[in-house]
Amino acid sequence: MNPIRALLRSKRAIEYHSARTTHTPWTRAMGWTFLLALVAGLPCALLADSFIHRATTVVVIDGRLFVNDRGQLDGFALHGAGTPEGWEQARPYGEFAVTVTNDAWGWPSASREDPAATQLSVKRFDALGANVGREREAIRRVVDRALMLRVDIDRRLVLASFDAATGTRKQPPLELIHLAFNTLIAWPILYAIGSVVIFMAWVAHGLRAHAQTTHRRSLRARGLCPACRHRVDGNLWSAKCPECGEPLY
Ligand SMILES: [Zn+2]
């Protein structure tokens, strides 16, 4: 059999049967929900971008700062190799913690991402004589040394982030490809939610209509008009209630 002819035949069959598809307010509501879910997908993706935030710890480096015998500020990581010699005799300066997190916003894909958001906190034993610039240099050296052993971490990225860290967190820019992806993911989810709501409304409407029909039937069985409850047993000729005009059949 000619495949093109078969294809045209099935197309005609589909068109023939599609024409007979009944359009009720419910099927129309479903159609609109399908379109509206796409339109609402973008604001939903943007909402997820502002409210859904995941921070995964990449590494935490805590250590000590001290002033060495040449009067320079130096430091070392507490949980790493390479404790500098003679630090026990050196004058303690303080403690520090460098926390590097992978910050992601949005769902399910990250529409914004900072792969190495760095936070630094320093606790000085003596607030007097603090030199913030020197502290940062010393801590940077410790971080550099500590990450040399960690092949799983992008050391240069962390150091760049450390240099850029100013204390105030700034959000990375919006990645439009990921936002578009999140919008497309939001679409079927919103459509599914909309469909469930419409289905529940349809069921509720059906139950109500069924209850009304049952009530009407019971009134008519007792010989009463379902609208005004006028007795209509004797009415043999009119299809309407003589009192209120309600159709009786
Ligand atoms: Zn009536």
pLDDT tens string 118-150 = 989 999 987 766 788 889 999 999 999 989 888
Q: Kindly report whether the peptide bond that precedes residue 172 is cis, defined as omega within 30 degrees of 0.
A: no
Within-domain flag for 12: no
Question: Cα(21) to centroid of ligand 1, in Å?
Answer: 37
Question: Considering the chain, what percentage of its residues have pLDDT values greater than 90?
Answer: 52
Question: Cα(210) to centroid of ligand 1, in Å?
Answer: 21
Domain of 147? 50-179
Question: Cα(218) to centroid of ligand 1, in Å?
Answer: 15
pTM reported for the whole predicted model:
0.67
Within-domain flag for 222: no
Domain count, the chain: 1
Query: For the chain, what is the mean pLDDT?
Result: 88
Question: Cα(24) to centroid of ligand 1, in Å?
Answer: 30
203 pLDDT above the threshold of 70 = yes
**Residue carrying the six token digits 């949005």:** 106
Within-domain flag for 217: no
pLDDT of residue 150: 86
Within-domain flag for 81: yes
Question: Cα(228) to centroid of ligand 1, in Å?
Answer: 4
Question: Cα(208) to centroid of ligand 1, in Å?
Answer: 21
Within-domain flag for 36: no
pLDDT digits (tens, 9 = 90+) for 158-170: 999 898 876 666 7
pLDDT of residue 21: 67
HSE-CB of 154 using CA atoms within 13 angstroms: 13
pLDDT of residue 67: 87
Question: Cα(216) to centroid of ligand 1, in Å?
Answer: 12
pLDDT of residue 247: 87
Within-domain flag for 220: no
Within-domain flag for 126: yes
Question: Cα(230) to centroid of ligand 1, in Å?
Answer: 5
Give the per-residue SS3 of 11-69.
HHHHHHHHHCCCCCHHHHHHHHHHHHHHHHHHHHHHHHHHHCEEEEEEEEEEEEEEECC
Q: What is the mean pLDDT of the segment spanning 175-187?
A: 96
Question: Cα(209) to centroid of ligand 1, in Å?
Answer: 20
244 pLDDT above the threshold of 80 = yes
Within-domain flag for 150: yes
15 pLDDT above the threshold of 90 = no
pLDDT of residue 90: 82
Question: Cα(62) to centroid of ligand 1, in Å?
Answer: 87
* Lowest model confidence (mean pLDDT) among 106-115, 172-181, 199-208, 225-234: 225-234
Q: 113, 107, 112, 115: which is closest to 181 by C-alpha? A: 107
pLDDT band at 22 (very low <50, low <70, confident <90, very high): confident
